[in-house]
Amino acid sequence: MPFEWFVAIRYLRAGRAQTALILGGTTMGVAVLVFLTALISGLQRSLIAQTLSSQSHILVKAPEREARSLPLAAGTAADRVEKTPDRIRSIEQWQQVLASIERMPGVVAATPTAAGSAFASRGEASKSVAVRGVDDQSFARVIEIVPKMRAGTFRLEGTTAVIGGVLAADLGVGVGDKIRLATPEGRGDVFTVAGVFDLGNKDVNQRWVLVPLRSAQTMLDLAGGATTIEVKVDDVFAAERMAQEIQRSQALQADSWMKLNEQLLVALRSQSASSWMIQVLVVVAVALGIASVLGVSVIQKSREIGIMRASGTSRGTIQRIFLLEGAIVGALGAVTGGLAGTAFALAFANLATSPNGEPIFPVDLTPGLFLAASLVAIVTGTVAAWFPASRAAKLDPAVVIRYG
Amino acid sequence: MADGADRTPVLRLDQVVKDYGVGEARTRVLHGVDFTLQRGEFAALMGPSGSGKSTLLNIMGLLDPPTSGKVFVAGQDTSVLDDDALTRYRGRALGFVFQFHHLLPEFSALENVMLPMAADRGRLDDSMRECGSVLLDLVGLSKKRDARVTQLSGGQAQRVAIARSLAMNPQVVLADEPTGNLDTQTSDDVFSLLREVNLKQNVTFLVVTHDPRMAERCDRVVELVDGRIVSDRRQEARR
């Protein structure tokens, strides 16, 4: 066994109370790191997942028309330029646009939608709804709707419709019942409810009526058009960059979920920032603890260090002994703290569960987290030991052997 | 000439001066000391408190550099060595026994004896274990090999310290009042052990002592007063 390891391990084992103290501190620190990171990242992941449950990553639509002023008589000036009220407009040559978006690297799926508003009625009951004509196959690849069907199936053909659970309750309909959809312009048809979904968003569950693309095109007077193309990408945080790319290359308006949920992202970012700050402070506290305990231990062992130096131990070896003590404490603390943090996180997740047994606070315990926490602990231990170790290395053997 | 001494200088001080403090507070502790120790010698260094014995011992032990003058150990001019080289050389060429045994309490008797070997080679191995056991045998403590230092009596601890000082088969063992902290009987025993090692293993010793009874048992007595060697006589040691 290398000499430094032998001495460092023996010192740690012999200095029971001191070792327990710094090991306890490191364990707590790592536990907080693991727990907090697992909780925050789990929470954020679940918030994002919830946000994206009924939303595509990128929404592509026809660009807004510029308001233009009419030619004015000489000498007069327009004091107000008013935007023309925009009717539902289709994306020009959407099939080509769709095909080129699908070819982009990073795009998982894209689906055309013809969307507009309408009234859904059954008997006396009538509700204002958002009609979305979709191609069921590609739509299911963009929005994970199939596992979220509460009744019936997600299949759109002819005059079938799939509606949200709240709307179904409002209208008092179930699978197999018929509803009438009508636009404000008076076009409309009768549809058979093929399925009821719950996408986890009340507004969506209350307003969405999914119908076959062709039916929506007819009803909304779009004649083969699509108002939006919805895109799913593999890295959700790359959505904004890819939206800008689409906007540039297609001359269309493309909005990422990040842009549409800016407030959420700002909230998540400040949450991450505050959690980071807490973790940095914890790491600093652990480092100070290790440094002070090892500092005391160096003072207590001054004479022994002098004896080792007199017996041919170099300054470098003495320094390495104490650096190793810090590193070993960090490594052990990483193991015990990792276990404690995992226990805290799991206990916390089990403490608060929703009625269906799913944790309200999901925790993200990944191998990467443990690896990172271990690395932080070992580096912190070593860095914290630097000052005491340098001090030990600088001791003058002649002085400490005589005076301690 | 005592038994074993063969006139090969193992330790030589050449005009060694040591000053402490700076400016006005500067005091000269050693005033140009010349001194040679020959292989196999068993010498006593005596002198009143404050005469500079410890300073001289630290300089001989390469623990403290002289302000001027040179220290040669086994012919090596030690002033040309850097800190790491000096440390390594010290570990190999010199052994130390202190008034208080200064063993490392976290380690067993055997591990304390192995310390200089492990420090020199940077690792511990079984050959050191064997070597250490032989040395503990030599000082009559083979039964206490695995005992913790705290479980040893004062005399036993000092024996372990002697075994440790011999670990690297040093040119010289420097002993600073090795019996100063022991009762009369134990002192005699420990001193006898040092003498025995000197005669049997031909190890050179320089022993700092206040005790005239101990000095009588040495081949040579060097007296230091106010940083100067005032007498240096060889004698027939009392056995």
Q: CB–CB of A155/A238 below 8 Å? A: no
Model confidence band, residue A84 (pLDDT cutoffs 50, 70, 90): low
Q: Which residues of chain A neighbour B96 with C-beta distances below 8 Å?
A: 307, 310-311
Q: What percent of chain A has pLDDT over 70?
A: 94
The sign of the dihedral angle between the CA atoms of B112, B116, B121, B127 is negative
Strand partners, A113: A134, A228
Structure pTM? Answer: 0.78
Query: Is B188 a domain residue?
Result: yes
Q: What percent of chain A has pLDDT over 90?
A: 39
- How many Cβ atoms from other residues are within 10 Å of residue B172's Cβ? 24
Q: What residue spans of chain B are helical by DSSP H? A: 53-60, 83-93, 109-121, 126-138, 154-165, 184-201, 212-215
Q: CB–CB of A57/A260 below 8 Å? A: no
Q: Specify the pLDDT at position A69.
A: 62
Facing residue for A304 by CB, picked from B91, B104, B168: B104
pLDDT in tens, A293-320: 989 888 888 888 988 888 888 899 999 9
Q: What is the DSSP string of B197-231?
A: HHHHH--EEEEE-S-HHHHTTSSEEEEEETTEEEE
Instruction: Say if residue A359's pLDDT is above 80.
Output: no
Tokens of A4: 């430094």
Q: CB–CB of A148/A197 below 8 Å? A: yes
C-alpha distance from A333 to closest chain B C-alpha (Å): 23
Cα–Cα distance for residue pair B95/A394, rounded to 1 Å: 22
Indicate the range of A14-23, A72-81, A272-281 predicted with least confidence: A72-81
Q: Specify the pLDDT at position A168.
A: 92
The ipTM of this complex is 0.86
Q: Which residues of A65-91 are buried (b: 16+ CB within 10 A; e: fewer)?
A: eeeeeeeeeeeeeeeeeeeeeeeeebb
Q: Which residues of chain B neighbour A310 with C-beta distances below 8 Å?
A: 61, 63, 90, 96
pLDDT in tens, B174-215: 998 888 777 888 888 888 888 888 888 888 999 998 888 888
Q: Which residues of chain A neighbour B121 with C-beta distances below 8 Å?
A: 3
Cα–Cα distance for residue pair B107/B215, rounded to 1 Å: 33
Q: Specify the pLDDT at position A71.
A: 67
Q: Specify the pLDDT at position A325.
A: 92
Tokens of B190: 């420990």
- Taking only residues 317 to 356 of chain A, the set having a beta carbon closer than 8 angstroms to any beta carbon of chain B reads 317
Q: Specify the pLDDT at position A331.
A: 93
Instruction: Say if residue A77's pLDDT is above 50.
Output: yes
> What mean pLDDT, rounded, does chain B reach?
87
- In angstroms, how far apart are the furthest CA atoms of chain B? 56
Cα–Cα distance for residue pair B31/B229, rounded to 1 Å: 9
Q: Specify the pLDDT at position B2.
A: 47
Task: Report, in angstroms and rounded to the nearest whole number, the Rg of chain B calculated over CA atoms.
Answer: 18
pLDDT in tens, A336-355: 999 999 998 888 888 877 77
Model confidence band, residue B25 (pLDDT cutoffs 50, 70, 90): confident
Asked if A73 reaches chain B (Cβ–Cβ under 8 Å), the answer is no
- How many Cβ atoms from other residues are within 10 Å of residue A208's Cβ? 23
Query: Is B137 a domain residue?
Result: yes
Query: Is B211 a domain residue?
Result: yes
Query: Is B146 a domain residue?
Result: yes
Domain that holds residue B138: 9-230
C-alpha distance from A310 to closest chain B C-alpha (Å): 7
Cα–Cα distance for residue pair B91/A28, rounded to 1 Å: 42
pLDDT in tens, A57-73: 999 988 876 666 666 67
Q: Which residues of chain A neighbour B116 with C-beta distances below 8 Å?
A: 311-312
Asked if B239 reaches chain A (Cβ–Cβ under 8 Å), the answer is no
Q: Which residues of chain A neighbour B88 with C-beta distances below 8 Å?
A: 312, 314
Asked if A309 reaches chain B (Cβ–Cβ under 8 Å), the answer is yes
Select the residue from A1, A3, A11, A311 to test the B interface by mutation, using most B Cβ atoms within 10 A. Answer: A311
Query: Is B3 a domain residue?
Result: no
C-alpha distance from B120 to closest chain A C-alpha (Å): 6
Query: What DSSP character marks residue B43?
Result: E
Facing residue for B124 by CB, picked from A1, A303, A396: A1
Instruction: Say if residue B101's pLDDT is above 70.
Output: no
Q: Specify the pLDDT at position B1.
A: 44
Q: Report the domain count for chain B.
A: 1
pLDDT in tens, A23-39: 999 999 999 999 988 88
Facing residue for A402 by CB, picked from B54, B90, B122: B54
Cα–Cα distance for residue pair A72/B151, rounded to 1 Å: 109
Q: Which of B32, B30, B36 is nearest to B11 (CA)?
A: B36
Instruction: Say if residue B56's pLDDT is above 50.
Output: yes
Exposed, middle or buried, B87 (CB in 10 Å: 0-12/13-18/19+)?
Answer: buried
Q: Specify the pLDDT at position A48.
A: 85
Cα–Cα distance for residue pair A42/A346, rounded to 1 Å: 12
Please report, for chain A, the start and end positions of each structural domain, with discontinuous segments joined by +: 3-51+264-403, 94-256
Q: Do A401 and B122 touch (CB under 8 A)?
A: no
User: For residue B113, what is the domain's CATH number?
Assistant: 3.40.50.300
Query: Is B38 a domain residue?
Result: yes
Indicate the range of A26-40, A81-95, B130-144 predicted with least confidence: A81-95
Helix (H, G, I), strand (E, B) or coil at A222: coil
pLDDT in tens, A153-208: 998 988 899 999 999 999 999 999 999 999 888 888 899 999 999 988 888 999 99
Q: Do A398 and B58 touch (CB under 8 A)?
A: yes
Q: Do B121 and A3 touch (CB under 8 A)?
A: yes
Q: Specify the pLDDT at position A193.
A: 94
Facing residue for A401 by CB, picked from B88, B102, B119: B102
Q: CB–CB of A318/A388 below 8 Å? A: no
